[in-house]
């Protein structure tokens, strides 16, 4: 998987980020139905304004 670099927050211009992970009921599912098909989501969150500046599914292969 490609590494995505985020230089600064597009909303407030801050350069300090943290990552958060979203599991369970917050999982995003591909169109194929099935309990085991979901993937946790990783969010990159701006520490200054709290905006989620980037989100991705961790188990990308489930969507391919």
Q: What do you get for the CA distance between the two ends of the chain, in Å?
A: 12
Q: Which is nearer to Zn ion, 8 or 62 (CB)?
A: 8
Binding characters for Zn ion, 30-59, by CB under 5 A (x = yes): ----------------x-xx-x--------
Site membership for Zn ion, residue 27 (CB under 5 A):
no
User: What is the spatial distance between Cα 43 and Cα 51, in angstroms, rounded to a whole number?
Assistant: 10
Distances in Å between the alpha carbon of 8 and those of 1, 21, 36?
A: 21, 20, 35
User: Which spans of this chain sit near Zn ion (rule: CB under 5 A)?
Assistant: 9, 11-12, 14, 46, 48-49, 51
């Amino acid at each position: 998987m490609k590494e995505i670099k985020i230089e600064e927050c597009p909303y407030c211009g801050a350069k300090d980020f943290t990552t958060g992970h979203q599991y369970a009921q917050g999982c995003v599912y591909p169109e194929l139905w099935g309990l085991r098909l979901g993937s946790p989501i990783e969010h990159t969150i701006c520490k200054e304004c709290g905006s989620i500046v980037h989100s991705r599914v961790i188990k990308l292969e489930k969507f391919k």
